[in-house]
Every structure is written in structure tokens, then in C-alpha cells.
């Protein structure tokens, strides 16, 4: 299982939107609607933001939204805030006989 491909970095000004892509294969992202997104601040544990492509756990602001088309998923952060500056990782289920697979990670900078 190869890591999912994400852009190394993304940026936006406060109030703007930023979208992060996550490209996998027909064996992971393309095969299942089980894509998750995690936010990780420096020195902290990852935090679940999105699961099952576009569902948000309780407490996650609706500024965070997810989507998927074919083998590529995306996370959009709308109304960027300073505290959104962090690393973001996508992850996909890869079948019952496998572990999941994480993305390469994207550092989001709020300008």
C-alpha cells in the first residue's frame, strides 16, 4: 500500500478558503467512501476532522468539509482562521484484509 498523495503545502489569508487534494487508487480512495481527514498541530496528536468523506464528528466546525471524486478526495477549509494553521492528513480504508493508508500530509499556512 502506497501513501496517498497530498500537496506538501497550501496557504490562504484569513477568511479565505483553501482546498487540499488527496489522490489514491482504485483500491483505496476510489473503492470506498471511507476517507477521513485529520488535523495535527505541532507536537500534538492528530484530531479527526472528517470521516466517511464528508461527515464531521461532533464539535468540528462546519468550516471543514470533505468531498470525493473518483480516486481523489478533498478537504476544504472555509473562512480560514489563524488556528487552522496545521498539518492535515487524509486517510482511506483499504479493505477488510488491510490497514488503512495515510496521505503524505499538507502543511497549511495562514498568511
Partner 1 sequence: QITLKESGPTLVKPTQTLTLTCTFSGFSLSSSGVGVGWVRQPPGKALEWLALIYWDDDKRYRPSLRSRLTITKDTSKNQVVLTMTNVDPVDTATYHCAHKPSGTYGVLGYWGQGVMVTVSS
Residues that bind partner 1 (CB under 8 A): 1, 3, 32, 34, 36, 38, 44-48, 51-52, 57, 89, 91-94, 97-105
Give 63 or 107: the residue with its C-beta nearer to partner 1: 107
Strand partners, 50: 37
C-alpha cell at 51: 470521516
- Give the Cα separation of 42 and 85 in Å (integer): 10
What 3-state class would DSSP assign to 83?
helix
Give the nearer residue to partner 1 in terms of CB position, either 16 or 75: 75
Least distance in Å: CB of 107 to partner 1?
11
Amino acid at each position: 500500500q502506497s501513501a496517498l498523495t497530498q500537496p506538501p503545502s497550501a496557504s490562504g489569508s484569513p477568511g479565505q478558503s483553501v482546498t487540499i487534494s488527496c489522490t489514491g487508487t482504485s483500491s483505496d480512495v476510489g473503492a470506498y467512501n471511507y476517507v477521513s481527514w485529520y488535523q495535527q498541530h505541532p507536537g500534538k496528536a492528530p484530531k479527526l476532522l472528517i470521516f466517511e468523506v464528508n461527515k464531521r464528528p461532533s464539535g468540528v466546525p462546519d468550516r471543514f468539509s470533505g468531498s470525493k471524486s473518483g480516486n481523489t478526495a478533498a478537504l476544504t477549509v472555509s473562512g480560514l482562521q489563524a488556528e487552522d494553521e496545521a498539518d492535515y492528513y487524509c486517510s482511506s480504508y483499504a479493505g477488510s484484509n488491510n490497514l488503512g493508508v495515510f496521505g503524505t500530509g499538507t502543511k497549511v499556512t495562514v498568511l
